[in-house]
Chains A and B, each alone.
Chain A
Amino acid sequence: MITLINIELYKIFKRSRTYIAFAAVFVIVVALQIGVHFEGQSTLDFLFQNIKESFMFQGDLVNGYLITFIILSSLWIHIPILVSMVTGDMISGEANGGTFRLLLTRPISRTKLVIAKFLAGWFYSILLVAFMALISLLPSLLIFGKGDLIVMKTTINFFSADDLLWRFIAAFGYGMLTMTTVASLSFMLSSFSDNSIGPIIGTISIIIAITIISSVGESLLRPVLPYMFTTYLTSWLLFFEFELNFTKIIQAISVELIYTLIFLTITLIYFRRKDILS
């Protein structure tokens, strides 16, 4: 099994498109860091001009943690695209390249092959989020320093600098879980298709479409929203609440895990019965 995973990882990291994702994350993160460094304070001043009539602000809110938080907020739509670019190609790429028939002549079960491919794709997704965490947190903290963080949700939350690192680690950890769900969705679509474009566009379309429908028709869809995996894509924000809502966190983790299992099971069932023609 480990040999199979290694082979799949070799295939992933042999392709140049894998590194496009890392390069894209790097460019976006650096651009955001520069942007917040130059415009962060004036933006905060503008946003708080009303509240500053009642309060004095003492201290610097533009710091490494704020920059990392903004990066996290901005990338939740980009990372699924970058994840599905690789995981959406895991099965369909073989079909498209005509290598499946050759591959399946080897003495390995289809189940093992699917699991190995999924684990390799999952490793890539985790690595991408870890890379994002690393280049967001470390340089931001080194260059802009530590500081308190302001988070606007239903209340205005001010977090002390010494109360933040674990929240970011938890948020990035949760991000890894949601990207696992996204990876399993694109992986499932990849098993249905014989070309790579379909699963990649399909994954993004599903996420965007459900998100838009959920927002526009919120009152109509309210009963099913708690059961949609897209509802919880931004639930890393739960780690930036003053009093942690463990029920919501557990619910979000459970839904993401259940969807991952469902997508993976469907992939296994479908792929085992699939007639390989290419």
Chain B
Amino acid sequence: MKRKLKILFVLIAFSFIAAGIQAQVDADKLLKSVGTRLSKINGYTVDLLIKVEVDMVKINDRKAKLTYQKPNKFKFDSEGFLLLPKTGMEMDYMKLIEKQANAIYIKDEFVNNVSTHLIKVIPVDPASDVVLAEMWVDPKKAVVMRMKTYTKESGSYLVNFYYTNHPYNLPDRMIVEFDVKGSKIPQKIAGGEFNSKEKELLFKDSKGKVIVIYSNYKVTTTPK
């Protein structure tokens, strides 16, 4: 009886270790599958509608055109002025996948009603601004549903991606949430409020949000 229990214990322990190794392999594979899907795309142009929701900033929705060229060239064109968050606007997971990084599977989670694998990605390059990224990846479509990135210079930011049925599974909506706390501007730039006692405008709310709606994708792909 004792022997049987020992064998059972060893089997259970082995299955856990095996599952762990399997999960580690899965995370790398998962990241690779996202990379493989993206590698088919050489570049694209897309129309953007950008909504900025930041405390103290008032700006109308802006239209722009984004041109992406492999491997990581992003160009924004607009007739008017664009105010964009410094982080999260350039599909940063592409850069992470492209460069060498270690991926660790953490757990399964639902993001926007889609079952995803949460993986932690640690860039190998010590010069990388990104210290750690958490990615929620839909394994069926090989798309990143959510990404939280921790950087050395720009704090952390969260990006949520929304997809419909684009042939290359490119997002049709993206919401970037980022830190703006502590940002301040001298008020007398071009005429401040008369009698105002405020010498500086301080961003009181710590979070900013930018919603980007993508439409009219024109994708160029690698010939098979």
A61 contacts B201, C-beta separation under 8 Å? no
| CB within 8 Å for A47 and B183 given contacts A58-B84, A66-B190, A157-B58 | no
B85 and A53 contacting across the interface, CB-CB below 8 Å? no
A34 at interface (Cβ–Cβ under 8 A)? no
Q: Which residues of chain B are within 8 angstroms of A61 by Cβ–Cβ distance?
A: 81
Given the known inter-chain contacts A54-B179, A54-B183, A152-B189, please indicate yes or no for A158 contacting B83, CB distance below 8 A.
yes
Answer yes or no: A153 CB below 8 A from chain B CBs.
yes
Partner of A154, one of B179, B189, B198: B198
Taken together as a complex, chains A and B put the C-alpha atoms of A84 and B123 apart, in Å, by 69
Report which of B57, B76, B186, B201 forms a contact with A58, defined as CB distance below 8 A. B76
Q: For B193, list chain A residues within 8 Å (CB).
A: 153-154, 237
Nearest-Cβ distance from residue A233 to partner chain B, whole angstroms: 8
User: Chain B's nearest CB lies how many Å from the CB of A129?
Assistant: 17
Partner of A70 from B56, B82, B83, B191 at Cβ < 8 Å: B191
Does A56 lie at the interface of the complex (its beta carbon under 8 Å from any beta carbon of B)?
yes
A158 & B60 in contact (Cβ 8 Å cutoff) = yes
- Tell me, in angstroms, the Cα distance from A151 to B58 when the chains sit together: 10
**A254 proximal to B (CB < 8 A):** no
Taking CB atoms and an 8 Å cut-off, the chain A residues in 108-164 that contact chain B are 147-148, 150-161, 163
Determine whether A166 belongs to the interface, using a CB cutoff of 8 Å to chain B: no
Known: A53-B183, A215-B195. A70 touches B84 (CB 8 A): no
- Contact flags B144-171 to A (C-beta < 8 A → 1, else 0): 0000000000100000000000000000
Given A152-B187, A218-B195, A234-B194 in contact, is the A54-B86 Cβ separation under 8 Å? yes
Nearest chain B CB to A252's CB is how many angstroms away? Answer: 11
B85 contacts A56, C-beta separation under 8 Å? yes
* Known contacts A56-B85, A155-B57, A155-B201, A160 near B80 by CB under 8 Å: yes
Chain B residues in the interface with A (C-beta under 8 A):
56-60, 64, 76, 78-86, 89, 154, 178-180, 183-198, 201, 208
Closest to A154 in B: B193
Contact A155–B191 (Cβ < 8 Å): no
Is the CB–CB distance between A158 and B195 below 8 Å?
no
CB within 8 Å of B: which A238-256 residues? 242
Which residues of the other chain, B, contact A161 by a CB distance below 8 angstroms? 79-80
Which of the residues B80, B86, B192 comes within 8 Å of A152, measured between beta carbons? Answer: B192
Q: Decide: B185 and A72 in contact? CB cutoff 8 A.
A: no
Chain A residues contacting B58 (CB-CB under 8 Å) are: 155-158, 242
CB distance from A149 to the nearest CB of B (A): 8
CB pair A56 B194 closer than 8 Å: no
In this complex, what residue of B is CB-closest to A56?
A: B84
| Pairwise interchain contact A59-B183, C-beta atoms closer than 8 A | no
Q: How far is the CB of B208 from chain A (nearest CB, A)?
A: 7
A155 surroundings in chain B (CB, below 8 A): 56-58, 201
A3 at the interface (CB under 8 A from B): no
Task: Decide yes or no: A50 and B185 within 8 Å by CB, A156-B56, A158-B59 being known contacts.
Answer: yes
Are A237 and B194 neighbours in the complex by a CB distance under 8 Å? yes
How many angstroms between the C-alpha atoms of A61 and B64 in the bound complex? 16
Q: How far is the CA of A178 from the CA of B82 in the complex (A)?
A: 35
Besides A59-B82, A160-B80, 11 other CB < 8 A contacts? Answer: A50-B185, A58-B83, A148-B80, A150-B81, A152-B189, A154-B193, A155-B56, A155-B57, A156-B56, A158-B81, A218-B197
In chain A, what residue has the closest Cβ to B179? A54
Beta-carbon nearest neighbor of B191 in chain A:
A73
Q: Do residues A151 and B191 form an inter-chain contact, with CB atoms below 8 A?
A: yes
Nearest-neighbour CB distance to chain B for A221, whole angstroms, equals 10
| Residue contact A150 to B189, C-beta cutoff 8 Å | yes
A residues less than 8 Å from B192 (CB atoms): 152-153
Contact B57–A50 (Cβ < 8 Å): no
